[in-house]
Amino acid sequence: MRAYITRRLLLMIPTFLGISLLTFVLIQLAPGSPVAAKLRGMDGSMKADAATAQIIEQTKALYGLDKPLHVQYVRWLGRLVTLDFGASMKDQRPVTTKIAEALPVTLQLNLLTILLVYLISVPLGVYSATHGGTRTNTALTGALFLLYSLPGFWVAMLLILFLGGGEYLNWFPIHGLNSPGAAALSPGRWFLDRLWHLAMPLFCLTYGSFAFLSRYMRAGMLETLRQDYVRTARAYGFSERVVVWKYAMRNSLIPVVTLLGGLLPALIGGSVIIETIFSLPGMGRLAFEAVLSRDYPLIMGNVAIASLLTLAGLILSDLLYTLVDPRIKLG
């Protein structure tokens, strides 16, 4: 196990280097200049005179943008070793500080999303496998795939319109993480207030995963229920509940657990849209604003953290695989 983890961690290095290099080259080759955008006036115009050109060159030298691409990338890697992503070109604040403020919000949102997705999808998949052909299962399957087909940003707009005080009901807040004065609340009431603010964003991030994850669980359960040891358990007189939840459940989780590694990047990508719509100060919104302002250091900092989280999720899914199926040995 230890040797496997060490090997996977070593393999993360070239993968991360490839992701960071590709991102670095793409943002550098994109049209427009971050320096020009930084110096542009409030009316969107910028004088093209000698003084402005000199300021642009000085600003490029300040951020190291006057160096060749390979030199800039090597310097960025050198600072990365000490977790120094540089200063934001927008407000001069350290990128590490801005990420440290936004990362807990995204982690909280995504961890709650994963928890809800698995707690709901696994029982739905088991029910679908054991109640195939019933009207309830047919209606449930149709509803899940209908939800899966709806884009998240559109559902977010509908929730704001109907439940967020847009035109009809005002049941849920549409922005922020807590109500004003929430710091004075007791821990329990503060937690409930946070969940109240995250209710609509969590729904937008979770509903699309119910359909495909429950389908994977259903397929795994149907295959497991046809195994000899399940028939043997039934022959011994165990109840169907015991057969399904004690003997068939664990092996049926194998394909579902392996999806965890692929679910993390999808959630991180989805949080860009959802955090922007609901004004949540997380990594997704931070990345969106960095791209709009062509903030190179902040973009690369976001890519580095998102890449590391995704690669860590892949390793975690492999480790969970061994817990679900003891027959699998990592070495």
Domain boundary among 14, 45, 80: 80
Residue 259 resides in a domain: yes
Do 75 and 217 lie in one domain? The reply is no
CB 42 within 8 Å of CB 329: no
Residue 170 pairs with which residues in a beta bridge?
164
Looking at the fold, whether 179 and 235 belong to one and the same domain comes out as yes
Beta partners for residue 94, in sequence order: 87
Chain segment 124-169, per-residue pLDDT in tens: 988 888 888 788 888 988 888 888 888 888 898 888 888 887 678 8
Picking from 80, 109, 135, the residue at the C-terminal end of a domain is 80
Instruction: Indicate if 32 and 170 belong to the same structural domain.
Output: no
Instruction: Give the pLDDT score at 231.
Output: 87
301 and 207 housed in the same domain: yes
In a domain, 90, yes or no: no
| Residue 105 covered by a domain | yes
Pair 48, 134 in one domain = no
C-alpha pair distances (Å), 203 with each of 83, 109, 166: 34, 11, 18
Q: For residue range 246-274, what is the model confidence (pLDDT) as tens digits?
A: 888 877 877 777 777 666 666 666 678 88
Q: What is the pLDDT of residues 4-25, one digit of tens each?
A: 778 878 888 888 889 888 988 8
Smallest CA-to-CA distance from 126 within 286, 282, 248, 278 is with 248
Q: Phi and psi at residue 132, in whole multiples of 5°?
A: -65, 140
Structure tokens at 17: 């280097």
DSSP string, 234-290: HHTT--HHHIIIIIIHHHHTHHHHHTHHHHHHHHHHHHHHHHHHTT--SHHHHHHHH
Q: What pTM does this model have?
A: 0.78
Q: What's the CA gap between 47 and 185, in Å, rounded?
A: 52
Helix (H) or strand (E) holding 169: none
92 within domain boundaries:
no
**Distance in Å from the first CA to the final CA of the chain:** 6
Cα-Cα-Cα-Cα dihedral sign, residues 276, 282, 288, 289:
positive
* Same domain, yes or no: 50 and 195: no
- 214 and 187 within one domain: yes
Six token digits for residue 181: 């004065």
Boundary residue ending a domain (49, 80, 111):
80
Q: List the CATH number of the domain containing 139.
A: 1.10.3720.10
- The model's pLDDT over 185-223, given as tens digits with 9 standing for 90+, comes to 888 888 888 889 889 999 988 888 888 788 888 888 888
Task: Indicate if 76 and 115 belong to the same structural domain.
Answer: no
Q: Could you tell me if 245 and 185 are in contact, meaning their C-beta atoms sit under 8 angstroms apart?
A: no
Q: How far apart are CA 168 and CA 149, in angstroms?
A: 25
Do 147 and 12 have their domain in common?
Answer: no
Sequence letter at residue 39: L
Q: Residue 164: beta bridge partners?
A: 170
Other beta carbons within 10 Å of 233: 19
As a residue count, the chain comes to 331
How many structural domains compose the chain? Answer: 2
Same domain, 247 and 182: yes
**Domain match, 42 and 180 both:** no
Domain that holds residue 68: 2-80
Q: Report the alpha-carbon distance of residue 207 to residue 213 in Å, rounded.
A: 11
> 329 lies in a domain?
no
pLDDT digits (tens, 9 = 90+) for 214-223: 888 888 888 8
Position 86 in a domain: no
Establish if 148 belongs to a structural domain.
Answer: yes
Query: Any bridge partners for residue 87, and if so which?
Result: 94
Q: By CB neighbour count within 10 A (0-12 exposed, 13-18 middle, 19+ buried), where does 307 fall?
A: buried
Residues 186 and 319 occupy one common structural domain? yes
The neighbour count for residue 278, using CB atoms within 10 Å, is: 25
